[in-house]
Chain A
Amino acid sequence: MDDFLAARSQMALSLGFHIIYACIGMVMPFFMAVSHYKWLRTGNDVYKDLTKAWSKGVAIFFATGAVSGTVLSFELGLLWPEFMKHAGPIFGMPFSLEGTAFFIEAIALGFFLYGWQKLNRWFHWFTGLVVGMSGLASGILVVAANAWMNSPAGFDFVNGKYLNIDPMAAMFNRAWFSQALHMTLAAFASTGFAVAGVHALMLLRNRERVFHAKAFRIAAVFGCVAAMLQPLSGDISAKDVAQRQPAKLAAMEALYKTERRAPLIIGGIPDDKTERVNAKLEIPGLLSFMAHGDWNAEVKGLDQFPANDRPPVAITHYAFQVMVGIGTLLMAVSVLYFIALIRKKSWLERGWFLKLFVFAIPLGYIALEAGWVVTEVGRQPWIIYNVMRTSEAVTPMPGIAWSFYIFSAIYLSLSLIVIFLLYRQIKMVPVLYSSNPDLNKTT
């Protein structure tokens, strides 16, 4: 493996790993806060047990998220020193604000986890909410930094020099809003579906029904609301990409030739040599409509860009298909869920309905990773769009492949341990919380 490829793979791996923990760390506190609130209001101890059970999961994820995030802040320099040398002062603003958000989050988590008997009940509840809010803030801030790489702003690039730096303008670049919105929804959708799915599985196995039914409901409502909004926000993102990064849009859609009334391609195998897409399904005009709001608008194809400025088409295209496919599916499941909530209460007990959620456990995260592949691979060959190439940014140190192998092994084993721990937490629910007679009754 050559060093450049290894550096890219290590970055992608570390981010792909971190993002899952980060999402759980920013979304679970909200589930906990709801459950905690219900306990404080109703005094029903099932909610207290649920809050405690979830909080243990969150502690595990939070620690993993925190250490992997620490690794990232060094890796930016370890792998991309040339990039950081120039970009640091420009796009660093969100990172420095993020420091504050993390700090507040870590402090609030300390209060929340260890404060069950020490703090005023509502203050304790509030600290849990603060964990979620500051997590959300850090997610939004770091995505603003990423958006800057897609849509550089806040400096003038003159003869290879970065002049007139304005960190605030860099932070509020053109892409930050659409990306932050889409990312936040993605975090809620993926974590909501994953958590709901795990509890659905327990319901299917007929375990502690009251406990798991309540847990399922809280997570499913969050996940489904987010999943319904996700395609809308995705549409905003797509229009935005069409404006600022036409090469990325063309790669997402595998559109080799510039066209009016451009079709939306579903599926298909792009072939860079012949510049054709095989085995595809086309909906005429839809791409023009989605990108520019006009069925006959012209959409720029890859032919507008010199070969060495084009992103890898196949990866971007497949990743985009996967994301949109899953997005559509999750939206459909969400519609069913709301029908069940409003009209067909009986579905909530049915095997097929619960199985649907079990099936969806990994889907949100797959879409999330796919979406990032679209964004990051679609930006290539640039690390700062139209300003600096990724290959110019990479570290001069040879042997990065070794570092990649070692980090892969570490992340793989960590993931396995986390899954193992979670399995044990869930397995132990009846033992740890058996003091509560309610738990084992059926609804």
Chain B
Amino acid sequence: MESVVLIFLCVSILLYFLLGGADFGAGIVELLTSRKNLSKTRKTMYHAIGPVWEANHMWLIIAVVILFVGFPVIYSTMSVYLHIPLAIMLIGIIARGTAFVFRHYDAVKDSMQQTYNRIFVYSSFITPLFLGIIAGSVISRHIDTGATDFASAYIWGWLNGFSVSVGLFTVALCGFLAAIYLIGESDDHADRKRFIRKAKQMNLAAVASGCVVFIFAEQDEVPLRTWIFENPVGLSAVIAATLSLVALWYLLLRGKTTVLRILAGFQVTMILLAISYAHFPYFLRLKNGRDLSLYEHMAPEKTMQTLGIALLAGSVLILPFLGYLFYSFQRSTED
């Protein structure tokens, strides 16, 4: 049952990255779209993510619940030392979700729209940025549980070159996922072309910021290089990601949308796998070297048992409906 819970934790984090990420990315794409194409992009985007955005963000809640029920020490340590980035991410989530819905449901379309738009695009950028910062801090051994002054305990743990570069990398990946997703949702030629171009730009941005992550990893002594290149799984994942990148660029020119989506998802999955496999099960790595392992900090057995059963039962109920939802609203064009 422990493995069931662990699998659910990993899968929900992964799905949040992919689905929630594509969702955030839609806002990032909007941020980078020139004014004359904006209203078209917005429309495509609304049809694409309107019906599914709520469900996409549920993966975050599932992950958090699994953490606090199954791995309470890890959850509470993160909550204490990453309080500030978590709070900023939450503010981003509030701003983004409400602005997205408000702009669509405001019965009068007037200058308020501009306010919603602005809030929506900026929070679509801020939220994944901080999500990435949090992810970076969790693995970078910057969090210092022994610190005595405010800044070392609550600020430098996440405000450092490595974490911020992971944040920017995350933003680029989200934009990339979204652009790929939107290609398949748009119905006219010019529109698709624009998304294809966006996907390419975002992909370049991701590669560039990925390199920056490596540079900062060296500087901040995060053994990223060892994890990826000296571990067979890490290495194969990176190779797979690179190969899929080549295939993706090739297919982009031909526009096979379903294959594109699968490839993009695959690529991001491989990147996550490469980064996290080598130090599994050490989920939260602390400055003093006392890394917190998912196995050692599990809740008592009975809790893991019931949690596992609840998750399994839940997915039997949920997955068919969720699949049907995505299926039904492929290229939906209705109010």
Contacts and interface: CB of A to CB of B under 8 A. Distances in A.
Interface in A67-119: 67-71, 73-78, 81-82, 84-90, 92-93, 95-100, 102-104, 106-111, 113-119
B37 interface: no
Given A85-B72, A410-B94, 16 more contacts: A59-B101, A63-B101, A64-B101, A70-B60, A74-B64, A82-B76, A85-B75, A92-B307, A93-B307, A93-B310, A99-B61, A104-B321, A106-B55, A113-B50, A116-B335, A167-B307
B107 interface: yes
Contact of A103 (B51, B58, B299): B58
Contacts of B102: 60, 63, 417, 421
A397 B153 CA distance: 9
Contacts of B325: 107, 110-111
Question: Helix, strand, loop or mixed for chain B's interface?
Answer: helix
Contact of B65 (A73, A104, A398, A432): A73
Contacts of B50: 113-114
A160 B249 CA distance: 59
Interface in B54-85: 54-55, 57-58, 60-62, 64-66, 68-70, 72-73, 75-80, 83
A89 B58 contact: no
Interface in A424-442: 424-425, 427-428, 432
Given A77-B79, A78-B83, A417 B98 contact: yes
A113 B55 CA distance: 13
Please tell me the size bucket of the interface on A: 35 or more
Interface in A138-179: 165-168
Contacts of A165: 299-300, 302-303
A286 interface: no
Nearest to A155: B300
11 contacts: A60-B102, A62-B54, A66-B97, A67-B98, A77-B75, A89-B300, A92-B69, A99-B58, A108-B321, A110-B329, A421-B106
A414 interface: yes
B303 A89 contact: yes
A406 interface: yes
B317 interface: yes
A100 to B, nearest CB: 3
A395 B57 contact: no
Nearest to A115: B328
B108 interface: yes
A88 B69 contact: yes
A116 B58 CA distance: 24
Contacts of B90: 70-71, 74-75
Contact of B86 (A78, A82, A110): A78
B91 interface: yes
B311 A96 contact: yes
Contact of A167 (B93, B154, B302): B302
B334 A117 contact: yes
Interface of B: 50-52, 54-55, 57-58, 60-62, 64-66, 68-70, 72-73, 75-80, 83, 86-87, 90-91, 93-94, 97-98, 100-102, 105-108, 150, 153-154, 299-300, 302-303, 306-307, 310-311, 313-314, 317-318, 321-322, 325, 328-329, 332, 334-335
B205 to A, nearest CB: 28
Contact of A63 (B54, B58, B65): B54
A206 interface: no
B106 A96 contact: no
A63 B49 CA distance: 14
A60 B105 contact: yes
A275 to B, nearest CB: 39
A97 B314 contact: yes
A410 B91 contact: yes
A77 B68 contact: yes
Interface in A348-401: 395-399
A149 to B, nearest CB: 15
Nearest to B329: A114
A120 B132 CA distance: 42
B64 A116 contact: no
Contacts of B314: 96-97, 99-100, 103
A56 interface: yes
Nearest to A64: B98
Contacts of B300: 89, 165
Given A85-B76, A165-B300, A424 B57 contact: no
Nearest to A57: B105
A299 to B, nearest CB: 38
Given A100-B313, A106-B55, A110-B54, A395 B329 contact: no
Given A114-B332, A406-B91, A81 B80 contact: yes
B75 A110 contact: no
A71 B72 contact: no
